[in-house]
Amino acid sequence: MQTREGARLRQIREGAGWRHWGPYLSDRQWGTVREDYSAKGDAWTYLTHDDARSRAYRWGEDAIAGFGDEKLRWCMGLALWNGQDPILKERLFGLNNSEGNHGEDVKELYYYLDATPTHSYLRMLYKYPQGRYPYERLVEENARRGQDAPEFELVDTGLFDDGRYFDVFVEYAKAAPDDILMRVRVLNRGPDTASVSVLPQFWARNDWSWAPDITKPVMQADAAGQVRLSHPRTGPMRLAVEHADALLFCENETNVVRLYGERISGFFKDGINDYLVRGQRDAVNPEQRGSKCAALHTLSLAPGEERALRLRLRPEPAQSGEFGDDAFADFDAVFAARREEADEFYAALQAADSDADSRLVQRQALAGMIWSKQLYDYDVRLWLEGDAAGPKPPPGRGDIRNGDWQHVHASEIISMPDKWEYPWFASWDLALQCPVLALVDPDFAKDQLLLLTREWFTHPNAALPAYEWSFSDANPPLHAWSAWRVFEIDRALNAAPDHHFLKRVFNKLTMNFTWWVNRKDASGRNIFQGGFLGLDNIAIFDRSSPLPTGGELSQSDGTAWMAMYALSMLRIAIEIALQDSAFEDVAAKFFEHFLLIAAAEGNSLWDEQDQFFYDQLGFPDGRRIPLRARSMVGLIPLFATTVLSGAEVDRLPQLKAQMTWFLKNRPDLAQLVSHWTVPGEGDTVLISLLRTHRLTAILARMLDETEFLSPGGVRAVSKFHEHQPYRLDRDGKSFELNYWPGESESRLFGGNSNWRGPVWMPVNYLLIESLLRQYRYYGDALTVELPRGSGRQANLHDIACELSRRLVSLFTRGADGRRPVHGDYPLLQNDPHFRDLVLFYEYYHGDTGRGVGASHQTGWSGLVASLIHRLNGHDYSHWTRPGST
């Protein structure tokens, strides 16, 4: 983009450090696997929210509106106290997995409103109640409720009635890559004058308590009321604070008195909390030095009054007067410039979108994704063995979790699904995040995809790590699909194909593909397992555990994911082979893999009676039972499709000869997949798991509003099962799958996730992509009824657009002025200070569109930004619809 923010992105390629500082703190470091040193692997209870204010973290940091350098040597964030809370509000509160009636859940109201990809400007909003925060009530009420009851949320407590809360806006702007401006704006929304203590905080991550002979960083107030920062691994810095009532100092070190009953004195991590909330004046250092500092501002605000606080962190000048005496002389001008540049950047991105509300949704979705970057630090070997200066961890921890992943040595900035609910990467989440991130920062997206293929992440056996709770689990293999999409977007935005990136990721994924073939095809039939594969409770039993019925499960989705993987690798190999003919052979190999997998799926898992794909239960005596549950498992075969141009195939004679050979000599493999020798619209070649008959049969069911099609997209389980649950009786045991459109009604996979009826953005997005690819082949020659029973015919492009509009409508205001995502909360729907604040949930109610699950999971609900972009004419692929731009 030819904008000033776009220029900064280009400067990064030349070595500029615009990404060196960013929103890299977690929203929740407590309760994570990395911080868990328990004997039984119970991360949630080993380090709790109550412990967090007093215990120094080993592997990261968390904060409200956290911001720091890329190794978190220096961190900054926000703390608040309304005079009534039992503790300082310096991190987000939520219930752990066992406390919530649907698993873990953050119980705060906060919104990521704006962000540029270089973090030159960031803005978020935290809504802080003026009344006492109901920690105990939230725990007790959610514990009282069963899984058939809704969750008890902070907005249900009445604390926000009559506007009795503060809107606290936190903004960051960069005057230079390492010159950080922080502005905190506090606004009283209530009807009465109210007081609040606002404490911007600055601290050094504790890296000195775990090993001997590490020099501790120091922050020291000077005579001018500024703070000098000294760190052994960075240059000296200076913090300027405007009009603070006091500067409070303590150490970012564990309070062993409170937690372990030791009898020593010190200025511990919770010293600022104890000084302000408990009145312990000796909890902070009177010499005004330490590794943690807070700038205390005590405000009394009349109704509607707003106050702004200004702070600035920048390198210590090489000589006196280099920056001028007043750190705030250009402060407001820098903020105004960065906001203007952010507006310019998004105006260029959204130039084709005339709808202000969809622009708002897209911008907040992208802001959430940019704010969700986090330093992920995890050395598994060191975590298992323990630090030199720390206590020895309990033996056998490697048998509980990640013992065979000791090569993992992560210390990287990674895009997280949700920095509170999921403050760790997941391989398929990351693959889905990258095409969205590529809209604004394709270089960062490419780096993210390459990262998991590096030696310090990928297992020596070529498996990609799934997520920290179990690196060995299998996530859907979407890396190749994502790499191709990011390559296409990058090529369109930068007018140059990055074949170097494509070759690097392809070489690594070739080994990973082989791992899948060798490890997840138990019987050698090209029918794949893989466990839950990200779809949690979609099956009638836990697919990641030994089957309670005995036997072996052949997974329709696992097999289809592999067919899609083979086609994505084929697509990449063809692109590379067009530049380097040596890759033709490997392209032919992936074509063969696809045929073998497709034939197995088509022959074994297609149910002719129901015209649908099902998982299949096999027994040692050779009997096989189709599990006739109508779910996303049967729609995922739609994903396995790619479209080539005839000209591309003609330029690759070896590949073309191999395709012809299979058609003539292996008709058994070719008979169930698309006719790749029959040219389509514009001389295209379709390679797909589905021929036209099966494609239209599946679409008929998918587009039926009594089954899969909802007002907000495609459901993960057919509504048919609402009144006719699928039931399997075996050896005196019964297993059942019902339609649950909202929260899960079982504790399978923790209970916080539900694939038995809601709308899930990632699979909907992949369905839309598949339809668009197939439209390029079929054009207007293929139409189906949309919705089924309406009598209206639609081509595949129009179906994709209709699904996109339904998904976007979850977030935008309808004709009635309501956003479905907000559910039935009048405050969220109608209040002018809430109604345009959009949250991006993990999934959405299958009937109403209400947001459910993790409330800040732009990690894949941010895909709505791409849908909006595409609806406005941006496809970023070889082909677009005739007449489109």
User: Is the pTM of the predicted complex or chain greater than 0.85?
Assistant: yes
Per-residue model confidence as pLDDT tens digits over 712-725: 999 999 999 999 99
pLDDT for 391: 80
* Between 519 and 774, residue with greater pLDDT: 774
Say how far apart CA 176 and CA 174 lie, in whole Å.
5
Per-residue model confidence as pLDDT tens digits over 523-573: 677 777 766 677 888 888 877 778 888 888 888 998 999 999 999 999 999
pLDDT for 581: 94
Where does the pLDDT of residue 670 fall: very low under 50, low under 70, confident under 90, or very high at 90 and above?
confident
Per-residue model confidence as pLDDT tens digits over 256-280: 999 999 999 999 999 999 999 999 9
Q: Contact at 8 Å (CB) between 536 and 749?
A: yes
In the predicted structure, residue 877 carries a pLDDT above the cut 80? no
| Mean pLDDT, residues 429-456 | 98
Say how far apart CA 876 and CA 885 lie, in whole Å.
10
pLDDT for 884: 33
Kindly report the backbone phi and psi dihedral angles of residue 259, in degrees, each rounded to the nearest multiple of 5, phi listed first. Answer: -85, -35
pLDDT-above-90 percentage for the chain:
85
Say how far apart CA 385 and CA 105 lie, in whole Å.
31
Contacts with 521 (C-beta within 8 Å, 6 or more apart), sequence order:
527, 528, 529
In the predicted structure, residue 836 carries a pLDDT above the cut 50? yes
| Mean pLDDT, residues 490-515 | 96
pLDDT for 1: 63
- 115-129, 225-239, 513-527: which has the minimum mean pLDDT? 513-527
Where does the pLDDT of residue 814 fall: very low under 50, low under 70, confident under 90, or very high at 90 and above?
very high
In the predicted structure, residue 405 carries a pLDDT above the cut 50? yes
In the predicted structure, residue 750 carries a pLDDT above the cut 70? no
DSSP codes, 294-325: EEEEEEEE-TT-EEEEEEEEEEPPSSTTSS-S
pLDDT for 505: 98
Report the number of secondary-structure helices (H) and strands (E) in the chain.
25, 34
E strands of 222-361, at which residues?
227-230, 237-241, 246-250, 289-290, 292-301, 306-315
* Bridge partners, 729 (sequence order): 734
Say how far apart CA 92 and CA 79 lie, in whole Å.
10
Say how far apart CA 376 and CA 413 lie, in whole Å.
6
| Mean pLDDT, residues 344-370 | 97
- CA nearest neighbour of 636 among 866, 478, 809, 843: 478
Handedness of CA 558, 561, 563, 565 (dihedral sign): negative
pLDDT for 499: 98
Per-residue model confidence as pLDDT tens digits over 126-182: 999 999 999 999 999 999 999 889 999 999 999 999 999 999 999 999 999 999 999
Per-residue model confidence as pLDDT tens digits over 758-770: 999 999 999 999 9
In the predicted structure, residue 749 carries a pLDDT above the cut 70? no
pLDDT for 879: 42
Tokens of 39: 């004997």
In the predicted structure, residue 880 carries a pLDDT above the cut 50? no
In the predicted structure, residue 883 carries a pLDDT above the cut 50? no
Count CB neighbours of 258 within 10 A: 16
Alpha helices (runs of H) in 779-817, residue ranges in sequence order = 796-808
The 3-state DSSP class for residue 219 equals strand
The DSSP letter of residue 290 is E
Where does the pLDDT of residue 331 fall: very low under 50, low under 70, confident under 90, or very high at 90 and above?
very high
Kindly report the backbone phi and psi dihedral angles of residue 23, in degrees, each rounded to the nearest multiple of 5, phi listed first. Answer: -80, 55
Say how far apart CA 823 and CA 848 lie, in whole Å.
8
Work out the mean pLDDT of the chain and round it to a whole number. Answer: 94
| Mean pLDDT, residues 40-59 | 97
Per-residue model confidence as pLDDT tens digits over 407-426: 999 999 999 999 999 999 99
- 50-59, 382-391, 528-537: which has the minimum mean pLDDT? 528-537
Per-residue model confidence as pLDDT tens digits over 79-94: 999 999 999 999 999 9
pLDDT for 882: 32
- Residue 265's identity, in one-letter code, is S
Q: Whats the size of the chain, residue-wise?
A: 885
Q: Contact at 8 Å (CB) between 426 and 467?
A: yes
Per-residue model confidence as pLDDT tens digits over 107-117: 999 999 999 99
In the predicted structure, residue 881 carries a pLDDT above the cut 50? no
Handedness of CA 709, 712, 715, 718 (dihedral sign): negative
